[in-house]
Every structure is written in structure tokens, then in C-alpha cells.
Structure 1
Amino acid sequence: MSAALDEVRERLRRFASDVEKASPLYSYLAGNAANDDDVARLLAVATEPDPELLLAAVQRVLQAEPFHELTNYYATLGGAYGPDNGLWQMWRAFALERADRVRALVTTRRVARGNEVGRAALFYPAVAFAARQAGGGPVGLLEVGASAALLLGIDLYSYRYQSEQAGQVAAGPGRAALGLHCALRLEPSGQKGPTIPKRLQVAERVGLDHDPVDLTDEDEYAWLEACVWPDQPDRLRQLGAAATVRAKKTPILVKGDPVADLAGAAARIPAEIPVVVLTSDALRPFSAERVTAFRAAVAELAAARPTFWVSLEAYSVGLHPDHPELDTPQAILSCARWVDGEELTTPLAQTSWHGERMHWLG
């Protein structure tokens, strides 16, 4: 059943506003799509009318036509043009002339948010925080909504954190195939920042997803590339480097439901190893009831074995009702643990969605 066109247009408008600074290209395209019923209808057939889904679908179709003039606006496809007066009509014509292919992708694909590799720079100090809470030894990582499970390699990447107060802090293997940079903000002046160890000890890594991505499948990998915003080519480079690392250190991938199959996925981690559950913008499509069910499933797991939940989610997910000051468009990085059955959630940082910046809350 298609989504109401008014809802689709409103989602496109909201997305255009939210990404105006981060992605001028996608802000421009989404804003115009919101005022064009023919284009909006391409997204209305989706079960979940996510604006990124439409934009990724068009980019995936464009990947197959590398000499089309439209590629000049896609830095990920070698282009160098910014949005101009000729872009919208060209993009609109391209999408509508290939409407069948675009609709086929919109109705069968999901946005691969879990593969935002830059977020590893956010998770690294947060997982270190959880590991210290667990006693300082090795942990097992269980990513929910893992897609291709690229974030499960956080201990295999190198990091540079830059702050005014502490200068540059390095972490991770010195010769890692992928290096990530993150600007670190500390407030007030003199506040202690995150403890960033040189190494993380990861004993096991498990990814749980409805449809885990096979990186050896060319079409699957091309879709991951299409989900990268085209005016952010550094993210495409990070995706490629992380895929190379992932091929050498393959995690366990479990096909299943994030609620019903959580305990079964966790059982893949040896019982003596604390579990750190990771979610990376995975709860956004969930209803409030579904979020509650997921939290209950993690709590049930925590009742059976040492379990921590490190999340990078929106305030609207409802993890921090006692912190209205965190209700901003930024992501919230948190760590939850359970003591005598009670959930204790610590907000650690407000961050950009792609890992470039982090405001540590202390």
C-alpha cells in the first residue's frame, strides 16, 4: 500500500531542511522533489517512504550510465559540478524516464545506514567506556541492523581525535588500512574528555540483520555505494577501505529479527565474554512499540549475562526523556547497562550523523 502523497512530500521537505549544510546536492534535490507530484509518487510506493531511499535508487540507476551528463553533479561518480539552474530538470527527466527501475529499487531495497563507516570514530570511545564498565577485558560486539557489518571492525581502524584542549589523540593500529578523523569538543573548558585507549580488545563480532549484505555480490556492493551521499566522496573511500578490512576479518552474520532473534545472535558470543550491543541509526524506522520491545529484549539479555547497549540514535527514539536539552537534530551517543534489572543509560556525546564531529558530554 502506497504512502499518502502529502506525507511523502513532508518527509522530502524535512529531509531537505535537515541536510542543507551537510549535503547541498541532496537538499536541493529533495526540496524540489517535495514540490513535484510526479517525482514524489516514485517514493510513495515504498513501504517506508524514506527520502534517502529515492535518492539512492536514482544514484544506483545512474551508476549504470556512467557517461550520462547527470554524473557531472555526482562527485562519487567523478563529477565536480554543484547544484545549478539546469540540475533539477535534468535529474527529474532522468528519474521519470527510468521510473520502472527506480520504483523497483524503492520497493525492494532499504537504506544501508548501518554501513556509515565514519561512525566507528564515535563508537570507539563509547565501546571503550562499556568495556571498562565490564571490567576492562575483551568484549563481544553484537551489531543490530548491521547490514554489511562494517562497524564491527572498529578495533581494526585507526583514529585521530582533535580537540582544542587536548590537541590530537591517536588510537588504533598504526598501520590500519582505514584511518578516521573526528573533531572532539569539550565543554565547559577543562572538562575531562573521553578515555581513548590505544587498543580495544574484541573477542567476537556478530551482526544481526533482516538482510545481511554479501560484499562479494557486486549488485549488493553497488547498492551500498549508492547509499553514500554523492557530494561526500570521502565516505565512499571509507566504505571501500572498510570493505577490504572486513574481507580479511569476517564477522558472524545472522539473518533474523532484531527483537525475536537477539538472544540467538548473542549466543554466538562465548558466555564468559560481556556483550556490547551496537545500534547505529537502526531504530529510526521502528514504531514506539517496536523500540520498547527491542529495549525489553536487550534487558532480558542483560538479565542472563553481562550486557551493555551502545547506541547512536536520534533523541526522538526516546532513550533520554530526562534530558530535553539533547533534543536537537544531532545524534546522541549513549551507553546503557542494567543493575538489578534497572536500565541505567548514560548519554556520552552529541555527534554528527556521519562521525566527523563529537561533543563529549562527560
Structure 2
Amino acid sequence: MRALDEELADLVDHYRWFAEVEAAQVSPRYAELAAAVAGDAGVLAFLGTLPRPKRQANLLLGALSYLHGGPPRDGAELRDRVLGDTGRLRTTMLARATQTNEAARCAALLPVLAGLPGPLALVEVGASAGLCLYPDRYGYDYDGVRVGPPSAVQLRCRVTGPGPVPRAVPEVVARAGIDLNPLDPADPDDVAWLQALIWPGMDERRDRLTAAAAIAAREPATLVRGDLLAELPALVAGLPAGCTVVVLHTAVLAYLPADARDAFVELVTGLPVRWVSQEGVGVLPGVRGRLPEPPADDESRFLLALDGQPLAYTAPHGGTVDWLPAAAALR
């Protein structure tokens, strides 16, 4: 009984944290829905029948949006959907995963990628549909400085600090990704799932996803199904000679247990690649430990790093880059 009580308490804490920290400032609807889940014994009981990794708020709310064409209006409708459609909801949550694919994160990646010797071969771990493998196909506006080709995807970014503003996009000669369940940007159902993972009130992100998926569908990347630790060495070895191989990831490693994160860092730093990470501030302790000063407790920011050296704080879904002193070396 004690173990079950602890599991229930952890589940309640997760949904309260999601409501009060993750969603409160960016999606009031999701904050309200997550708080309702935390206080609903019936919904919590349903979640308790799922494996632990399948109980997370993003997955539940995304699945409900996917199955019903949008999020519930309130806690009462959420309860009705969960308890009235348990079979389809369970099947969807077991089959799917949270695979948010936000092209706007490329606005933070681009200044680092543009400073590397080209041409580049990009490898994304946790690639989802691979939309972050096309930084050279998007247009950018860094506080009025425009970079990149004409594109249906235009990314605006506010910048502070001593880091670079790129003059041009890099040449990319190969794009590859690894994911446990890669999504096809040409498949309407896969795109619908990605759309369902976008939180209410973020219509600009929804439009951007549609445009980025169309770009990726026209120029498909090589997406490999499998575990990143198992697949990465062979994928890197098979890329064209004479280019700089860049392994990149955003908002991926938090979903791995700590020992797997450590194994990934050991693996990627031993390969003949450059490593660009964009993860939550506390996800990679070795990167966090190289910050010039301890960060404030802020779970709403990411930390951008090159080869383990922290360069900037960034917004989780793109739009801001706050350069750290080390970024001056990139200019």
C-alpha cells in the first residue's frame, strides 16, 4: 500500500508542478487542466494503470487533443473524455510519445552552426520528424538583422550578450536523425500528432510546424529508428567524408535516466564530431558545472552549449538567446 500511495503522491506532484511551473505563464488552459487532474481521483486512477513514463501531463493532454480535435474546455470535460474513452486513450498513450518538434529552436542553433567549418553533416538525436535538421532552409530575424533564404518559415529571435549574429546560413550536405519512433513529416497523421502536442494559445507555433513539415517532406532526412546510444556511432561513420559532423539535440536528454545521459556524453565526446546541446539547465551537470556563475533557479530556460561549453541561455521553444561571456569567442 505504501508504494501505491507514494506513486499517487508523485503523480499528483507532477501535475501540480506542471500546472504551476511549466504551463502557468504560457498556457493558462493547460495549467487549469493539469491542476484539475491533480485533484481528480478517477483520472489519477486511470493514469496509475499506465507505465510510469506514460503518465506525464504533456502526453495525456496531447493524446486528448489528438483524439478529439482539440483540448478539453475544462476539468469536467477532461474527466468525461478520459473516463468515457479509456480504450482509445490508453492505446494512443501507449503507442505515442511526447515528440515536440519546434523549428524555432534553430534560431539558437544557427549562430553556433554558422561558426563551424563547413560543409556540415547534421545528426539529431531524438529527432522526432527532423524539423531541426533544416536550419539552412529557414529565414531569421535577429533584432532586425535578417539572415537566410526566402522561406515559409521565418524565425524571430531577441538576442542579448556578446555572442555572434550569423551573416549567412551554413552549407548542409547531409541530414540524419535517430528516434525511438521517428515521425514522417509527409504523413498527415504524424503531423496531426505533432500539432496536438502544441499547447493551446500557441497558434503561431502551429502554423510554423505546418510550414516546416512541408519543407522537410520535400527534402527528406535520413531518420533511423532505434536507441541513440546504439545507433549513433554507425550513423556518424556513414556520413560523407570532408565535412564537419555535428551531433545536436534539444529537449531530449531529460527523458533519459541519469546513467544513460552519462553514457551519451561519454559516447558523443569520443566521436569525431562537434556536439551542440540545448537542454534544460540541470539536465547535463557537466555543462552546468562550467557556467561562469551558478544559475538562478529557473526551470523555464534551456542552456545552449558547444562541446560541453555553455554559451547561452535560450527559450525552450525558441525566440530568445542570452549569450554568456564564453560566446564572445564565436564572433
When normalised by structure 2's length, the TM-score is 0.89
1:289 aligned to 2:259?
A: yes
For the residues of structure 2 that align with 1:36 and 1:110, how far apart are their CA atoms? Answer: 23
Deviations 1:188-241 (A, max 9, x none): xxxx33231222111211111111112333322221111111221111101100
1:346 aligned to 2:309?
A: yes
For the residues of structure 1 that align with 2:80 and 2:319, how far apart are their CA atoms? Answer: 34
Q: Which residue of 1 aligns with 2:75?
A: 88
For the residues of structure 1 that align with 2:227 and 2:260, how far apart are their CA atoms? Answer: 11
For the residues of structure 1 that align with 2:256 and 2:96, how far apart are their CA atoms? Answer: 17
40, 52, 60: which one aligns with 2:66:
60
* TM superposition shift of 1:287: 1.1
* TM superposition shift of 1:358: 1.9
Q: Which residue of 2 aligns with 1:16?
A: 19
> RMSD of aligned C-alpha atoms?
2.0
Q: Which residue of 2 aligns with 1:332?
A: 303
Q: Which residue of 1 aligns with 2:328?
A: none
For the residues of structure 1 that align with 2:174 and 2:140, how far apart are their CA atoms? Answer: 21
Q: Which residue of 1 aligns with 2:147?
A: 171
1:316 aligned to 2:279?
A: no
The 5 A counterparts of 1:80-159 are: 87-113=74-100, 115-129=101-115, 131=116, 136-159=117-140
For the residues of structure 2 that align with 1:322 and 1:347, how far apart are their CA atoms? Answer: 7
Change (3 A) 1:291 1:110: same
For the residues of structure 2 that align with 1:108 and 1:316, how far apart are their CA atoms? Answer: 29
Secondary structure at the aligned position of 2:134 is classed as: helix
Q: Which residue of 1 aligns with 2:319?
A: 356
Q: Which residue of 1 aligns with 2:247?
A: 277
For 1:348, give the aligned amino acid: L
For the residues of structure 1 that align with 2:235 and 2:68, how far apart are their CA atoms? Answer: 37
Deviations 1:110-162 (A, max 9, x none): 1013x112111111112224x1xxxx321110000001101101110000112
Secondary structure at the aligned position of 1:123 is classed as: helix
Q: Which residue of 2 aligns with 1:27?
A: 31
1:5 aligned to 2:11?
A: no
The answer on whether the counterparts of 1:121 and 1:180 sit within 8 Å (CA) in structure 2 is yes
* TM superposition shift of 1:37: 2.1
Q: Which residue of 2 aligns with 1:339?
A: none
For the residues of structure 2 that align with 1:275 and 1:357, how far apart are their CA atoms? Answer: 26
Secondary structure at the aligned position of 1:259 is classed as: helix
Q: Which residue of 1 aligns with 2:190?
A: 220
* TM superposition shift of 1:297: 1.2
The answer on whether the counterparts of 1:116 and 1:354 sit within 8 Å (CA) in structure 2 is yes
Deviations 1:227-269 (A, max 9, x none): 1112211111011000111112111111121111111111231
Secondary structure at the aligned position of 2:228 is classed as: coil
For the residues of structure 1 that align with 2:245 and 2:44, how far apart are their CA atoms? Answer: 42
Sequence identity percentage: 34
* TM superposition shift of 1:327: 4.9
For the residues of structure 2 that align with 1:176 and 1:196, how far apart are their CA atoms? Answer: 17
* TM superposition shift of 1:292: 0.6
Secondary structure at the aligned position of 1:177 is classed as: coil
When normalised by structure 1's length, the TM-score is 0.82
Secondary structure at the aligned position of 1:284 is classed as: helix
Change (3 A) 1:193 1:298: closer
For 1:51, give the aligned amino acid: A
Off by >6 Å, runs of 4+ in structure 1: none
For 2:104, give the aligned amino acid: G
For the residues of structure 1 that align with 2:220 and 2:94, how far apart are their CA atoms? Answer: 29
The answer on whether the counterparts of 1:126 and 1:348 sit within 8 Å (CA) in structure 2 is no
For the residues of structure 1 that align with 2:56 and 2:92, how far apart are their CA atoms? Answer: 12
For 1:152, give the aligned amino acid: L
Task: State the number of aligned residues.
Answer: 314
For 2:112, give the aligned amino acid: A
Change (3 A) 1:312 1:58: same
